Structure 1
Amino acid sequence: MKIAVVTLRPEDEGHLASFLKENALSPQQCWRMQNASVASHLATLEAEYHVALPDLILFPPSEEGNELATRLAWRLRGCAVCQARGFDDETRTVRKAAYGNALTATLQPQHFPLCLSVVAAPLRQHAVFPADMPVNLLTPVPVSDALPPPDVLNKSAHPLQSARVVLAAGQGAVDQAIERLAQKLKAETGFTRQRVMAGGCDAQRMLGISGQSVAPEVCLIAGASGASAFMAGVSQSQFIVAINHDPEAPVFAAADVGIVGEAEEVLEALASRVSSVS
C-alpha cells in the first residue's frame, strides 16, 4: 500500500509518526504544506495525488486536517474518515471512537484513495518519519472565487448558556408536559442524547459530551439515568435536583437532592410551589 502523509505545521510530524508506528505503517512520501487556507490547498493536493497515486493519505489531528481529508476524498471520489484511531493494512479497516468514546467502531472503506485525519493521542517515544522519506514542499494555489470563511457563531448566545434554571429531560420524562412545566418553572429545556435520538426534540438542546455544557444555578434532571456522557454536560451546575422512579439510578450519586418518583408528578408539585412563592 502506498502511503502519503500531509503536514501543515511542524508539530504535526509527532502525531503522524506516532500513528504510523502504532499501526506498523511505512509511508512513501511526505507532502509538506505551507500555511494557507484550506481551499487553496485542495488543488495542490489533488494534483500531487495524480502524480504519486497513493492508496492512503494521512492528515494531522486538527480542524484543517479533518476538513482537508473530507474535501480531498470527495474530489478524488475516494473515502474519508476523521479522527481515526488506527488502520489495519491487512484488512484495510479503520478504527475510530463512537458514541462519546464509549465504543470503538471498525469501518470497512469501499473506495480509495482513503483520506484519514488521525486522532490526537499521546506521542509515542522515538516516533519520527523515516530519514530517507522524500519530502515534497507544496505551494498552495490562490483561489480567487472561493467562498468566504464561514462565520463562527458564538455558542454562548444559546439560551441554555445563560439560563439560571435548566430542566434536563430524559427518556423517562413525559414529552407533552416538559415544555409546559419548563415555563412554569421558568427554566430552559435540555435533553439527553437518547431523548434527542428518539425524535421530537430540538437537537441544539442536547446536553452532554456530544451537545451543550451548561452551568445554571439549578439543574432539574427528570427521567434521565445519569450516564457519564450526559452528566459531563451538567456537572458545572451549582445545584442539581435528580428525579427518577428508580431509587438505584446512577444520577442520584451526582445530585445534591434526589427525589424518587414519577417525573411529571414531581415537576408539577415543584411548579406549583414556584407559582405560589413568585
Structure 2
Amino acid sequence: MNKAKVNQEINLADYNDVWVIAEQNEGKIHPVTIELTGEGRRLADTLGKRLAVIVSGADVEDEARKLLHYGADTVFYISHPLLKDFSTEGYALSISELILEKKPEIVLIGATSIGRDIAPRIAGKVGTGLTADCTKLEVDETDHKLLQTRPAFGGNLMATIVCPRNRPQMSTVRPGVMEKAAFIPNPDGRLEIFIPNLKEEDIRTVLMKKVKSDRKKVNLIDAKVIVSGGRGLKSPEGFTLIRALAEKVNGEVGSSRAAVDAGWIEHLHQVGQTGTTVRPDLYIACGISGAIQHLAGMSESKYIVAINKDPNAPIFKVCDFGIVGDLNEVIPAMIESIDKNGSLEI
C-alpha cells in the first residue's frame, strides 16, 4: 500500500503558504470551501504568504478552475480516475502526498462529515497535529503561529491551541463560521494538475450504489430565515408552533442545545457552539434564554428577534427586536398577522 513517510525532524522554515482543502460532491463544490477560501486569503495576507486551494476528483477540472475566482493564487487539481468517487483512503493518501511534496505552513479543512473523516488521517500521514471544529483563527503577532480556537468541555469554555514544533498547522473549521470569499471576475491565479501515486489496491472500499434519503434536508447554513425553539417550549409538541411559523416565513427550524438534549428535536437542527453556526438575514429565537454557547452560533445574524417571558433573559441583550410574552400567544399572533397582512405586524 502507498504510505506517506513522516519526517521526525523538520525545519519550520521549509514550510510556506496557506492551503484550503476543497470539498466537492458529484462535481459541485461545497459552500464551506468558499468560506475557508475567504479565511485562508485573510491569513495568507497577514503572513505575507500565498493561498492555494486543493481539489481532488476526476473530470472536475472546470469546477476546480472556478475557485480561482475567489482569491486563490493557485488551485491544485489532484486528478485521478480512482478519485471519481470519494474514498477515505484515496483522498487522504493523495492529499498527503501533495502536502509532503509542497510543504504548506497552514492547512484548513471544513468540519463536514467528509472533512472530519479525512483530516485526522492526513494529519497522521504527514506527522502533524490537528485542531478540530475551530470557530476562530488568528495569527500570533510575536511568532506568527496559528492560534486555533475551539469550544472545549461541552462548549463551556473556549480553548486556543497552537502547533509549535510540527507542520503544517492543521485545522478543521465549522461551516457557517467564516465569511464567504468575494467573487473576482478576472482572477490572476493559475491551475496546476497533480497526478498522485495512487493504485487500486490503495482503495479498500468501493462505492456500489448511492441511496438518497427521502427525509427533508435541513440546511441551516444557507437559510435566510431561521426560527428556533428552546427550553421555553416546555415539550416536543412546542415545535409544532415553531414549524408553523418557519413555514410561513419560508425559513428553517432551529433549536437550542437544551431542546436537543431533552430529546424534543434532532441534533441536526441545533444552533450554537456544539451545533451549527449560522448567519441568516432573520433569526427568531423562541423560548431561548441566550446561553453563551447558543449566542456564539447565531450572533452574526443580520436581524435577531427574541420571544421570551423573562424580561431579563440574556437573549434580549443581543436581539434587534424583543418581545416579552408567552410564545404560545405571540407565535399564533405572528402567524395570524402574516395570513392577514402578508407581513408581520404585531
TM-score, normalising length: structure 1: 0.51
- 1:30 maps to which residue? none
Q: Deviations over 1:98-149 (max 9, x none)?
A: 2125389xxxxxxxxxxxxxxx72356xx69xxxxxxxxxxx9974341269
**Consecutive unaligned residues in structure 1, runs of 5 or more:** 1-5, 15-36, 43-60, 71-81, 85-95, 105-119, 129-139, 152-156
Answer yes or no: is 1:164 the counterpart of 2:224.
yes
Letter in 2 for 1:66: P
Tell me, yes or no, if the aligned pair for 2:221 and 2:279 is still in contact at 8 Å: yes
Larger Rg: 1
Letter in 2 for 1:146: R
Q: CA deviation at 1:67?
A: 4.2
* SS at structure 1 position matched to 2:242: helix
- 2:152 maps to which residue? 97
* SS at structure 1 position matched to 2:220: helix
In the alignment, the residues of structure 1 paired with residue 88 and residue 261 of structure 2 have an alpha-carbon distance, to the nearest angstrom, of 33
Answer yes or no: is 1:241 the counterpart of 2:305.
yes
- 2:58 maps to which residue? none
Q: CA deviation at 1:180?
A: 2.4
- 1:90 maps to which residue? none
Letter in 1 for 2:228: A
The change in CA–CA distance for 1:186 and 1:145 in structure 2 (over 3 A counts) is: closer
In the alignment, the residues of structure 1 paired with residue 163 and residue 322 of structure 2 have an alpha-carbon distance, to the nearest angstrom, of 43
Answer yes or no: is 1:218 the counterpart of 2:272.
no
- 1:251 maps to which residue? 315
Answer yes or no: is 1:66 the counterpart of 2:106.
no
Alignment of 1:29-40 (within 5 A): 39=89
In the alignment, the residues of structure 1 paired with residue 312 and residue 206 of structure 2 have an alpha-carbon distance, to the nearest angstrom, of 53
Of all paired residues, the percent bearing the same amino acid is 30
* SS at structure 2 position matched to 1:172: helix
Aligned residues: 183
In the alignment, the residues of structure 1 paired with residue 223 and residue 269 of structure 2 have an alpha-carbon distance, to the nearest angstrom, of 12
In the alignment, the residues of structure 2 paired with residue 7 and residue 228 of structure 1 have an alpha-carbon distance, to the nearest angstrom, of 42
Letter in 2 for 1:182: A
Answer yes or no: is 1:228 the counterpart of 2:292.
yes
* SS at structure 1 position matched to 2:288: coil
Letter in 2 for 1:99: G
Tell me, yes or no, if the aligned pair for 2:218 and 2:252 is still in contact at 8 Å: no
TM-score, normalising length: structure 2: 0.42
**Consecutive unaligned residues in structure 2, runs of 5 or more:** 1-5, 16-86, 94-107, 110-115, 125-129, 133-150, 167-196, 211-216
Answer yes or no: is 1:147 the counterpart of 2:212.
no
The change in CA–CA distance for 1:69 and 1:197 in structure 2 (over 3 A counts) is: farther
Tell me, yes or no, if the aligned pair for 1:185 and 1:271 is still in contact at 8 Å: no
In the alignment, the residues of structure 2 paired with residue 69 and residue 193 of structure 1 have an alpha-carbon distance, to the nearest angstrom, of 30
Alignment of 1:69-148 (within 5 A): 97-102=152-157, 121-122=161-162, 143-147=201-205
In the alignment, the residues of structure 2 paired with residue 197 and residue 7 of structure 1 have an alpha-carbon distance, to the nearest angstrom, of 44
The change in CA–CA distance for 1:275 and 1:211 in structure 2 (over 3 A counts) is: same
Q: Deviations over 1:77-101 (max 9, x none)?
A: xxxxx969xxxxxxxxxxx932125
